[in-house]
Amino acid sequence: MELNAPNSTTELGEFDAAISLKNMSDLYGASVRIEFDPSKLEVIDANETEEGIQLNPGSMLNGILVKNEADNVNGVISFAVAQLGDVQGVEGNGVLATVRFKAKEGSEGTTELRPLASNIQLLNSENADLEFQTQPASISIAKGQTVSGQVGVPSYQGLASDKLDGFTVRLLSGQQVVGSAATGSNGNYTMSVPASGDYLLTVNKDGYLRAGKQIAINGDQAQLPNMTLLVGDFTQDGAIDIVDITHIAKQFEKSVAAANGVYDVNKDQKIDMADIVPVAKHFGKVAWDRIDQ
């Protein structure tokens, strides 16, 4: 069993660790447990709609998910999955699950992800044990540079300047998240990032068109460019189209609740024409990564 993770990250950086199995023969069920240092790392929930903290299940075994949880207090990950029915087990290589970690502030140093061999079971379709070996993954966490920025919306949206919380800001190097933060009520954020390099700055929030910008950070830079997001992408497909307009139109003059709160775009506790107009104004807009499509 291998834990495929990057060798390094920075404070507040995110990274994925894949729980991988190789050279399997008739793998029918798997139960794994992994330890991590909760003073340095925390697991990011892969499914916020479910209670607890989950991993992202892989495709190697996909019959019945028995256990899927991460304990950020004690630093333990538990995952168990099996085939379903009178079928053969899986052959070859694959990924059981992927864990997304975030390095905590002040976590500079080296840390390990440690599979607990005594708590790992790999069984074939005859319910017999399969042999396996484990190896910990070592990750170096570097102290990052503190940078800040601000996320805003167009004034015609009518959203008060103290209601700009909850935008997720990430800085990526390739596919690896090297810094992340959530905006406060005024739209400001601060994160720790590598001291220099070329990166992709992205901003996301439910109901908004995702935004992105290629940036360069040098050793003396502390302020990132401001980002403006457009409301109306309720389907989160990267385009504000007639489907989105239809969604908000169906909520017109309905009472605001948790289920439809995303359509109250100016957060005044009612869904009226003042919410419809900004979305209609954004009709036809697409996300930064769909402009050339």
pLDDT in tens, 61-72: 989 999 999 999
- CATH 2.60.40.680 assigned to domain 2-142? The reply is yes
| CA atoms of 214 and 170, how far apart (whole Å) | 12
Q: Return the SS3 of 94.
A: strand
**In terms of Cα–Cα distance, which of 250, 245, 238 is closest to 290?**
238
| CA atoms of 123 and 96, how far apart (whole Å) | 14
| CA atoms of 276 and 256, how far apart (whole Å) | 14
* pLDDT at 291 (0 to 100): 76
Flag the least confident range among 24-33, 110-119, 136-145.
136-145
| CA atoms of 281 and 231, how far apart (whole Å) | 10
> What is the fold, at CATH topology level, of the domain defined by 145-290?
Immunoglobulin-like (2.60.40)
* pLDDT at 220 (0 to 100): 66
pLDDT range class, residue 232, cuts 50, 70, 90: very high
Q: What is the pLDDT of residues 211-221, one digit of tens each?
A: 999 998 887 66
Strand blocks (E) in 2-136: 2-4, 8-10, 14-35, 41-43, 56-57, 64-71, 76-82, 90-103, 109-115, 121-124
Task: Give yes or no for residue 139 having a pLDDT over 90.
Answer: yes
* pLDDT at 59 (0 to 100): 94
Q: Can you tell me the mean pLDDT for 127-146? A: 92
Q: Return the SS3 of 83.
A: coil
**In terms of Cα–Cα distance, which of 234, 230, 169, 178 is closest to 203?**
169
Q: What is the pLDDT of residues 82-125, one digit of tens each?
A: 999 999 999 999 999 999 999 998 899 999 999 999 999 999 99
Q: What is the pLDDT of residues 176-188, one digit of tens each?
A: 888 888 999 999 9
Determine how β-strand 197-204 pairs with β-strand 227-228.
Answer: unpaired
* pLDDT at 12 (0 to 100): 81
* pLDDT at 293 (0 to 100): 54
Q: Can you tell me the mean pLDDT for 210-234? A: 90
Q: Can you tell me the mean pLDDT for 258-283? A: 97
Pairwise pLDDT comparison (239 vs 11), residue with the higher score: 239
Domain coordinates of the chain in residue numbers? 2-142, 145-290
* pLDDT at 195 (0 to 100): 67
Of how many residues is the chain composed?
A: 293
Report pTM. 0.70
* pLDDT at 16 (0 to 100): 92
As a whole-number percent, the residues of the chain with pLDDT over 90 amount to 82
Strand blocks (E) in 104-235: 109-115, 121-124, 137-142, 145-152, 168-173, 176-182, 188-193, 197-204, 207-208, 211-217, 227-228, 231-233
Task: Give yes or no for residue 223 having a pLDDT over 70.
Answer: yes
The amino acid present at 19, given as its one-letter code, is I
Most confident of 5-14, 214-223, 235-244: 235-244
The two structure tokens encoding residue 126: 């005859």
Would the CATH topology of 2-142 be identical to that of 145-290? yes
